[in-house]
Amino acid sequence: MSEPLSECDGNEVFPEKKEECGLFGIFGDADAVQKTYFGLHSLQHRGQEAAGIASSDGEFIQCYKGMGNVSRVFRTGSGILEKLANSMAIGHVRYSTAGSSNVENSQPMLAEYSRGQVAVAHNGNLINAGLLRDEYEAYGSIFKCTSDTEIIVHLLAKPTHQTKPDPLGHVLNHLQGAYSLLFMFADHIAAARDPYGIKPLCIGRTEQGAYVVASESCAFDAIGAEYVREVEPGEIVRLDAKGLHSRFFVRRGDITPAHCIFEHVYFSKQNSLVFGENVHVLRKKLGRQLAREYPVEADVVIPVPDSGTSAAIGYAEQSGIPFDMGFVRSHYVGRTFIAPDQRLREMAVRLKLAVIKEVVAGKRIVVVDDSIVRGTTTRGKIRTLREAGATEIHMRVSCPPIRYPCYYGIDFPTKEELLANNRDLDEIKDFLEVDSVGYLSLEGLLSCAALPADHYCTACWSGKYRIPIDIALNKFTMEHYQMTMFEDFSAAHE
């Protein structure tokens, strides 16, 4: 199958809601719900807006979800976890774009159709969600929320889909975009990943032999489970009373992966294995490469914690400039990038980071951050360093300039809101009010990663989209693409 690259000007408008979320599921453990709670806690960095857990006793699925972080939704003493207690469970933590922040869009999404109950949890963004929604509404389907996930439920419930040899595989072949998915039916869990493997999803196993699936392997550490492997792109993994079973809904090897390398740059936790590589180790490599590309004379290297810390260590190691902590982070404030709007982001930054004056006063400083999106919160951090007495401030960023929006699940704004849009380095330097600025090159970034360069999605930097974004606007192309993919797969298995 061909894999066209699509380029855009960054101004296209899509109705779907981008979601970068965390998934956790476990089958065959008496403490499945409690372990799901701990697993979601470890994935809290992936979403702090809503949380939910669904569980099943083998016949009936129950679900509880709400707005806020995990400990708020499942507060101590509420008895919620005890009421959910079963031996199989899936959970979800969510962040979304402004406008879709409400409990109706929280997950897992529980529904009932002709084959019984199903709970669905989704990480990613479907670029053809609007098209599919229009089609189903035209035939009388009623939608209760604005989440992409509800469209998947309608696809599952369609009678003609249920007659297929592999109904779930058939449904997944209708989806385009980024998706890592957990489905919980009454007696089993199914985990699936899109054919490009854009979002991470991995498999673990507890000491007692129960299988676990999570967005990141850090969730396994939280419950004492061992990392086994990734869910492969285009794979469906079933967890049931007989163990783990695997099948593919696309032909293996036909599609080159397009892993979101921004997972390594920013989203994932340092102790996670993502796309087969430890996040902290790779970020240190990025910092060392950044020091090679943009050296500077300075007295101290400081990170913007937490996601900039590993790269700052690497920069200090390569440059020989001492490393120190110039900012102290409040752990009671969540990730500012995923706050729903700019006003909240700016307020969160002031609460989150305080300057240690003794580290920066009278010194030339290298500030290392993982990325800069809009630039307004970064400029605020720079001003606090100036007020604390820094004599020079040199900004270093461990990824290339973000110039294009993401349509696969990360809440980057429109192209016009991006700092690097139509600005050169001097203009970015002036905007940030720093003495110099340096971004890691795309070639440098890819050279640090373990997989081949063409196995990663770089659209937010290059503007080249592996899954053509205009496919969502062209129904004929979309349907042809789906049928070709499914027919090729079916022919290979006849």
Residue positions in the annotated binding site for [4Fe-4S] cluster?
260, 406, 457, 460
- Cα(3)–Cα(13) distance, integer angstroms: 23
**Binding-site positions for Mg(2+):** 307, 369-370
DSSP strands (E only) in 398-492 = 436-439, 456-457, 464-465
d(CA 72, CA 379): 32
Query: How is residue 485 written in tokens?
Result: 């993919």
404 Rama class: left (phi>0) / alpha (psi -120 to 50) / beta: beta
**Beta strands per DSSP E along 105-231:** 109-113, 116-126, 177-185, 189-193, 202-205, 211-214, 226-230
Residue 21 is among the residues annotated as catalytic for this protein: yes
Q: Which of 8, 21, 218, 399 is catalytic?
A: 21
118: buried, middle or exposed (CB in 10 Å: 19+, 13-18, 0-12)? buried
Residues flagged as binding site:
260, 307, 369-370, 406, 457, 460
Residue 330 tokens read as 């409040």
Long-range CB pairs of 478-486 (<8 Å, 24+ gap) are: 478/128, 478/131, 478/176, 481/176, 482/173, 482/174, 482/176, 484/1, 485/1, 485/173, 485/195, 485/250, 486/170, 486/173
Catalytic residues: 21
